Amino acid sequence: MCRPSDEEVTITRTLDKVIKRSDAVDKELLCILTGQRMWHIPLTLNLLANAGNMLDCACLAGIVALWHFRRPEVEVIGDDVIVHSPLERAPMPLAIHHSPFCFTFAFFADPETPPILDPSQLEQ
């Protein structure tokens, strides 16, 4: 397995900050048994091309994926946890408080040139 590039590391860290630290997803509702069991939701993005502004696209894709994610229904009886299949009970959506978005601006050294929103790879 190859080592991730600097750009991949930057995107991963920024997504972590944007999604986890912004409290967009209600983490308390991911708890099954306090201090013992919790849902873990991996988010994997495959970036196929880079025409610029990859971070903004990755952030948007991550938020949309979380909006569409459904977790199985769980029943807790004492210390026993029963995870119901989608055929038994409908899966539940995540509780998302807000949708954080990333916006990239390109600033140029020339003071006459205004900043650009959503720059291409060349402009970046």
CB 23 within 8 A of CB 94: no
Tally of structural domains, the chain: 1
Question: DSSP 3-state helix, strand, coil percentages of the chain (rounded to 5)?
Answer: 25, 20, 55
Question: What CATH number did the domain enclosing 105 receive?
Answer: 3.30.230.70
For residue 57, what are the domain limits?
Answer: 6-117
Three-class SS of residue 113?
coil
pLDDT at residue 69, rounded to an integer: 93
Residue 38 placed within a domain: yes
| Average pLDDT estimate for 71-87 | 90
pLDDT, tens digit, 9 for 90 and up, residues 33-61: 888 889 989 888 888 888 878 888 899 99
